[in-house]
Structure 1
Amino acid sequence: MEVDCIPFKETGYFSKLICDYLDQKKELKPFFGHFPDIKNFKVQIAEKEANFPEAHRPILVDVLRTQYKSFEVSEATSEHIASLEKKNTFAVVTGHQLNLFTGPLYFLYKIISTINLTKQLKEVYPKHNFVPVYWMATEDHDFDEINYFNFQGKKVQWNLDASGAVGKLKTDGLDSVFNTFFQELGNSTNANQLNELFQKAYLGHSNLTDATRFLANALFGEHGLVIIDGDDVALKKILTPYAEKDIFENTAFQKVSESIEALKQVSSDYTIQVNPREINYFYLVDGVRERIVEKEGKYVVNNTEIQFSQSELKEELKNCPERFSPNVIARPLYQEVILPNLCYIGGGGELAYWLELKSYFQTMEIPFPMLLLRNSALVLTEKQAKKVEKLDLTVSNLFLKQNSFINKKIREISNIDIDFSEQRKLLEEQFESMYKLAKETDETFLGAVKAQEVKQKNGLDALEKRLLKAQKRKLKDHVIRMTDLQNELFPNQSLQERQLNFSELYLEFGVKLVPFLVDHLNPTAKGFSILKIE
């Protein structure tokens, strides 16, 4: 496998906020802690070690062992779970929704980034243990975001009238999804392995949480991945004092709102990823996950008849902490309270909302983790790589928007000059003397001169476009081949990793796929990886 790398900024697919973060723009420094260079982990380790309660470790280990009780646990994962009880063990965490059959391809990249970072840390800090952790978002209720995956340009969808936390959903009806998928797969060895994996995960388990754990464990268990479900009464007991501050003092709302305003002051181009609510917890019970809202001194569960006085809600939180489900603002704090985590690995959108949270963490006296942008990759088959070479393309060309990509290449390969930049420059020089003449005689003529300049520049633009269009017709076959290749690698004019499911690559490469990615994705590479599989 050949590996290349393009700076994230040059791909055109990452926000200004994330690009500025990767550049460690000084104005952003108040919004993150230590930047995730390997050398900086020494300080992060010391901070987490000094602030993570030892009493949380045995609770965490007991919960994990219980959650894994019905699953086959690899030796590496078993050792990692046991090691979490030791003071010198730390986690590296990523999180993801319970997308059907992993959802987009980047699910793999997130987890592989996490696994590989723990390996790098162990080499540099051998006296410590580092555990890769996948946090399953079992409490999310956005079923429409997770109930499908794309396969060979088609949407494979689980149709279900769902409500409440997705992790508790029964896997009823997934046999029809399997039959649809089976018909598309074919009958190769790799296809049969995918069939078996889907059946064992979804038809062999009664709920989506267990199905997802089985699937992630099957793909990454041998690499020691530890999978955690935060929807647990013992873990939520630890969260209780922090939930109280959010619900009754609106601490998160105040601090995160301040951070958002401060981010806007750094740049008006930054997109605010999430906004806090006065209360950032849902009430979770009996297929219901609804926001808790304060109304006239009462605490009401939105869209239900359930309500509490302040004292009643405090008692409910104390006695039934499992009924309180953190939202996107509160969940990161929950994660850091119960895990000895050093670094969170996520996509650009995730890191954008983490950058809103540092002040909130400081107020709660919880160490803020390092934030690492997950690996991103474009995977080319040997056949596709040969097409790139034959068409004399650079892979970076393929990241351009399609019209810009085609125009750029037509200009390069055309036997006539379609770039009128030189003519525009000469025109501007000629009009400079006309502006000077107008100023010296009658300044009212300046508008007329300007209008004439604009007219002639527009005429040049029109001529250039017509010439380019004519060359596209003349080089039609070349244009079609380039367009087809880009559409293969960037389906729906989007990144491959956001559209494809891992099963498409698995059909091509089989059991070699995950080891290939583990071997060649470097979480600290600071660029978009181009992987050419031979």
Structure 2
Amino acid sequence: MDIDCLPLEKTGFFSKLICDYSIADVNLKQLYNRFPDIEGFKGQIEEKGRHFTQAQRDVLYCSMKNQYQNTDISKDTAANIELLKENNTFTVVTGHQLNLFTGPLYFLYKIISTINLTKQLKTEFPNSNFVPIYWVATEDHDFDEINYFNFKGLKFQWNKEASGAVGHLPTEGLEEVFTLFSKTIGDSKNAKVLKVLFENAYLKHDNLTDATRYLANEIFKDYGLVIVDGDDVDLKRTLIPYIKKDIFEQTAFYNVSKTIEEIEQISSDYPVQVNPREINYFYLKDGIRERIIENKGKYIVNETAISFTKEELINEMNVHPERFSPNVIARPLYQEVILPNLCYIGGGGEIAYWLELKAAFEAMEVPFPILLVRNSALIITEKQADKLEKMNISKTDIFLKQNSLINKKIREISNIDIDFSSQKKLLEEQFKEMYAIAEITDKSFLGAVKAQEVKQKKGLDALEKRLLQAQKRKLKDHVVRMTALQNELFPTQSLQERQSNFSEFYLEYGEDLIPMLFKALNPLDLSFTVITQ
């Protein structure tokens, strides 16, 4: 296995904000607590240790025991759940939606980054324990975002009517997806493993939460992963004081809004990732998940007839805290309230909205975690690597926009010089003489000289483009092979990890896939990983 690393900015797939954060740009320092390096984790352990109480640990431990009571777990996961009781135990968290069959490939990268970081921290800080957490986004309600996965250009989609929290959805109808997928992947040894995994997860569990818990546990059970479902009455009860601050004092709204203004002042190239609402909680009950809106002293559940006075809403929180579901602004706080957490690992979009939240955390008096951009990777098979070598395409070349890649390689392999730079330089020298003549004879002639220079340069540009197009036609076979290979590595001209499902690579590598990724991904190396296997 060969591993190459590229700076994120060199890939062309990451925002300026994330590229700047990955190199610790000083202009962003006000937006985060500590940078993700060993020194930063040392301070984070000390701070979180002071703030996280034994009572919080006891609630978390009991909830985990309850959530796992019907799950067959490994010794490592069971041991990690027990460690949550200890005051020297801390967590590293990543979160992900309940995408069908894990969804895009980066699902694996998120969790592997998380597990690998806990291993590194244990080496650096042997007197503490570190537990990897996968936070399942069971309360999300955008079914269209999670009801499919892609396999070699095909979209396998679960078609059904859905509303409310996706974790509550029954798994009915997934038999059809399973049948189609089974026919597509064939009957190889690795295909049979994938079929059993899908069948056991989705056809033998009643709802999407249980199916996803089974799937993630089955893939990562040997690595001690602990899966946390925030849709839990006991965990939600610890959130009540913070729900009140959000709803009645609009603490998150004011502080996040102020931070967004600060981000816009730092750079106009940093777009706002998410905007806060005056109230950042949904009401979750009986198949609905709708926003809570304040209107003239009444608290209304959007798109329903449900409403509360302030006193009634407080009573509802105290009696049924599980009915209050945090949105994208409030959920990060919820995670940090219930977990002894040091670090959140997420994709570029996630880290971008986390960078809006530090002031809100401070106002709520909750330690703000270290933020780490998850590992990103491109997997190149041996066959694809051979093709790249034969076409003399480098690991950096393949990240070029397709037209730029074609132009670059056509210029390199063409038997004639398609670069007219020397001719343009010669033309400029000739026109210098014309300008000098105009200066000493008739200055009104300067405009005509300039116009002629521009015209002739445009003519050279046009000739260069025509010659390049002619060479593209002549070398059409090479262009076709280049573009086909790049399209394999970057489906729909996007990162492989954002489009392809892990099953494509499991068919290729089988049980070696997960260990290969664990070996290749280094969470504290904030660069892009190219894996050639």
Q: Do Structure 1 and Structure 2 share a fold, with TM-score over 0.5?
A: yes
Report the RMSD for the aligned CA atoms in angstroms: 1.3
Cα gap change, 1:257/1:180 in structure 2, threshold over 3 Å: closer, same or farther? Answer: same
**Equivalent residue for 1:457?**
457
**Equivalent residue for 1:312?**
312
**Equivalent residue for 1:152?**
152
2:267 pairs with 1:259:
no
| Matching residue's letter, 2:69 | K
The offset of 1:278, in angstroms, is: 0.7
**Equivalent residue for 1:372?**
372
| Matching residue's letter, 1:107 | F
5+ long unaligned stretches in structure 2: none
Task: For residue 328 of structure 2, give the secondary structure of its aligned residue in structure 1.
Answer: coil
| Matching residue's letter, 1:39 | E
Count the aligned residue pairs.
533
**Equivalent residue for 1:58?**
58
Q: Counterparts of 2:339 and 2:436 in 1: how far apart (Å)?
A: 71
The offset of 1:451, in angstroms, is: 3.1
User: 1:79-130 deviations in whole A, cap 9, x for unaligned?
Assistant: 1111011111000000000000000000000000000000011111111100
User: 1:181-225 deviations in whole A, cap 9, x for unaligned?
Assistant: 111110111111100000000001000000000000000011000
Cα gap change, 1:86/1:433 in structure 2, threshold over 3 Å: closer, same or farther? Answer: farther
2:204 pairs with 1:204:
yes
The offset of 1:457, in angstroms, is: 2.1
| Matching residue's letter, 2:47 | E
Task: For residue 144 of structure 1, give the secondary structure of its aligned residue in structure 2.
Answer: helix
**Equivalent residue for 1:181?**
181
Aligned runs of 1:333-482 on 2, under 5 Å? 333-435=333-435, 445-482=445-482
The offset of 1:440, in angstroms, is: 6.1
The offset of 1:414, in angstroms, is: 1.4
Cα gap change, 1:44/1:457 in structure 2, threshold over 3 Å: closer, same or farther? Answer: same
Q: Counterparts of 2:309 and 2:431 in 1: how far apart (Å)?
A: 76
Q: Counterparts of 1:400 and 1:392 in 2: how far apart (Å)?
A: 14
Q: Counterparts of 1:397 and 1:213 in 2: how far apart (Å)?
A: 39
Cα gap change, 1:298/1:378 in structure 2, threshold over 3 Å: closer, same or farther? Answer: same
The offset of 1:319, in angstroms, is: 1.4
**Equivalent residue for 1:11?**
11
**Equivalent residue for 2:130?**
130
Cα gap change, 1:437/1:335 in structure 2, threshold over 3 Å: closer, same or farther? Answer: farther
Cα gap change, 1:433/1:321 in structure 2, threshold over 3 Å: closer, same or farther? Answer: farther
Cα gap change, 1:451/1:316 in structure 2, threshold over 3 Å: closer, same or farther? Answer: farther
Higher alpha-carbon deviation: 312-321 or 111-120: 312-321
Cα gap change, 1:441/1:17 in structure 2, threshold over 3 Å: closer, same or farther? Answer: farther
| Matching residue's letter, 1:7 | P
**Equivalent residue for 2:96?**
96
Task: For residue 395 of structure 1, give the secondary structure of its aligned residue in structure 2.
Answer: coil
The offset of 1:482, in angstroms, is: 1.0
**Equivalent residue for 2:190?**
190
| Matching residue's letter, 1:529 | T
Calculate percent identity across the aligned residue pairs. Answer: 66
Cα gap change, 1:226/1:444 in structure 2, threshold over 3 Å: closer, same or farther? Answer: farther
Q: Counterparts of 1:277 and 1:435 in 2: how far apart (Å)?
A: 62
Cα gap change, 1:80/1:439 in structure 2, threshold over 3 Å: closer, same or farther? Answer: farther
2:30 pairs with 1:30:
yes
2:524 pairs with 1:524:
yes
Task: For residue 503 of structure 1, give the secondary structure of its aligned residue in structure 2.
Answer: helix
5+ long unaligned stretches in structure 1: none
Aligned runs of 1:253-332 on 2, under 5 Å? 253-332=253-332
Cα gap change, 1:431/1:239 in structure 2, threshold over 3 Å: closer, same or farther? Answer: farther
User: 1:145-190 deviations in whole A, cap 9, x for unaligned?
Assistant: 0000001111000001000000000001111111111111101111
Q: Counterparts of 1:435 and 1:292 in 2: how far apart (Å)?
A: 71
Cα gap change, 1:435/1:43 in structure 2, threshold over 3 Å: closer, same or farther? Answer: farther
Task: For residue 238 of structure 2, give the secondary structure of its aligned residue in structure 1.
Answer: helix
TM-score calculated relative to the size of structure 1: 0.98
| Matching residue's letter, 2:394 | T
Cα gap change, 1:458/1:312 in structure 2, threshold over 3 Å: closer, same or farther? Answer: same
Task: For residue 270 of structure 1, give the secondary structure of its aligned residue in structure 2.
Answer: coil
Higher alpha-carbon deviation: 17-26 or 211-220: 17-26
The offset of 1:526, in angstroms, is: 2.0
**Equivalent residue for 1:496?**
496
2:265 pairs with 1:242:
no
Task: For residue 372 of structure 2, give the secondary structure of its aligned residue in structure 1.
Answer: strand
The offset of 1:54, in angstroms, is: 2.0
Q: Counterparts of 1:311 and 1:433 in 2: how far apart (Å)?
A: 86
**Equivalent residue for 2:227?**
227
| Matching residue's letter, 1:2 | D
2:105 pairs with 1:105:
yes
Higher alpha-carbon deviation: 296-305 or 418-427: 418-427
Task: For residue 367 of structure 1, give the secondary structure of its aligned residue in structure 2.
Answer: coil
Aligned runs of 1:499-510 on 2, under 5 Å? 499-510=499-510
Task: For residue 300 of structure 2, give the secondary structure of its aligned residue in structure 1.
Answer: strand
